[in-house]
């Protein structure tokens, strides 16, 4: 919504303003955490971010703005109490042998796929469109994108209703570091599988755990994958 479009709308409270960052009129996956704050916390955060942005305009240095955004994001998502485990086991497979002898697969929850091979079909939603489909994503079953090991970074893209995937579109290595793993394979540090994977982590967690992920694990085991490098987003 542009400022001009907003001119004809009725006045809003500050609460409505910061809540609107969470899938509202001002949906913004970078700053949706503002909706988790009290009015005072959100006001202080917006003011501090603007102050750091103003400084950055003078200095060209974004480190302080980035640090503040990081610290406020961590505070906003922190649970009020120490977290209790949600699962009853912690499976652990000790590493057997040298890393360089194991077949390693990259698995990202960042919604990455090969351009032109959209897991939601040729008319799959854009990043902007998928924000309006967050409920459908959270109810649905995730689809696994299969990405050949030699896929150039500029052939990869991403879409995700839970974070701003335009960041990954700018640099896919932020959530899918296949290019770095290829470099490490060239250096003899790792051995890569011929296929790597991604899915959209904003999905039905029950389906993921009970149905989808076990099927994916079977697929990877059949391709002789020994270890997985998992990236959460």
In this chain, which of 51, 135, 189, 215 binds other proteins, going by CB under 8 A?
Answer: 189
With vertex at residue 221, the alpha carbon angle to CA 151 and CA 212, rounded to the nearest 5 degrees, is 85
Judged by CB under 8 A, the chain residues 10 through 39 that form the site for other proteins are: 29-30, 33
Which of 233, 106, 121, 95 has its CA nearest to residue 177? Answer: 106
Sign (positive/negative) of CA torsion 34, 37, 38, 42? negative
Residue 187 binding other proteins, by CB under 8 A: no
Interaction pattern, residues 148-177, with other proteins; x per rule: CB under 8 A: ---------------xxx-xx-xx-xxxxx
**Least spacing, CB of residue 76 vs other proteins, in Å:** 8
Residue 210 binding other proteins, by CB under 8 A: no
Please say which residue, 89 or 123, places its beta carbon nearer to other proteins: 89
With vertex at residue 135, the alpha carbon angle to CA 131 and CA 141, rounded to the nearest 5 degrees, is 105
Residue 84 binding other proteins, by CB under 8 A: yes
Please say which residue, 50 or 99, places its beta carbon nearer to other proteins: 99
Block residue for tokens 């086991």? 89
**Least spacing, CB of residue 84 vs other proteins, in Å:** 7
Residue 85 binding other proteins, by CB under 8 A: yes
| Euclidean distance between CA atoms 176 and 166, whole angstroms | 14
Residue 181 binding other proteins, by CB under 8 A: yes
Could you tell me how many residues of this chain bind other proteins (CB under 8 A)? 51
In this chain, which of 12, 47, 99, 221 binds other proteins, going by CB under 8 A?
Answer: 99
Please say which residue, 88 or 123, places its beta carbon nearer to other proteins: 88
Block residue for tokens 């649905």? 140
Residue 185: partners with Cβ closer than 8 Å, 6 or more residues away: 191, 192
Binding site for other proteins (CB under 8 A): 29-30, 33, 66, 69-70, 73-74, 76-79, 83-87, 89-95, 99, 110, 163-165, 167-168, 170-171, 173-177, 180-181, 183-184, 189-190, 227-233
């Amino acid at each position: 919504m542009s400022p001009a479009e907003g001119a004809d709308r009725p006045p809003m409270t500050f609460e409505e303003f910061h809540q609107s960052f969470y899938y509202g009129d001002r949906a913004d996956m970078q700053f949706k955490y503002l909706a988790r704050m009290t009015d005072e916390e959100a006001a202080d955060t917006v003011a501090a971010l603007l102050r750091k942005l103003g400084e950055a305009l003078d200095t060209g240095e974004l480190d302080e703005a980035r640090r503040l955004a990081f610290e406020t994001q961590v505070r906003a998502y922190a649970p009020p109490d120490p977290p209790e485990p949600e699962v009853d086991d912690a499976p652990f497979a000790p590493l057997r042998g040298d890393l360089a002898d194991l077949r390693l697969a990259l698995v990202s929850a960042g919604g990455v796929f090969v351009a032109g091979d959209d897991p939601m079909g040729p008319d799959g939603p854009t990043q902007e469109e998928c924000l309006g489909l967050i409920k459908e994503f959270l109810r649905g079953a995730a689809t696994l994108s299969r990405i050949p090991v030699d896929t150039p970074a500029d052939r990869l893209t991403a879409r995700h209703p839970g974070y701003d995937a335009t960041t990954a579109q700018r640099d896919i290595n932020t959530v899918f570091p296949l290019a770095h793993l290829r470099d490490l394979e060239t250096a003899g540090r790792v051995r890569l599988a011929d296929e790597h994977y991604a899915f959209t982590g904003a999905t039905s967690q029950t389906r993921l755990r009970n149905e989808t992920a076990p099927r994916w694990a079977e697929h990877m085991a059949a391709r002789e994958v020994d270890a997985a490098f998992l990236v959460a987003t």
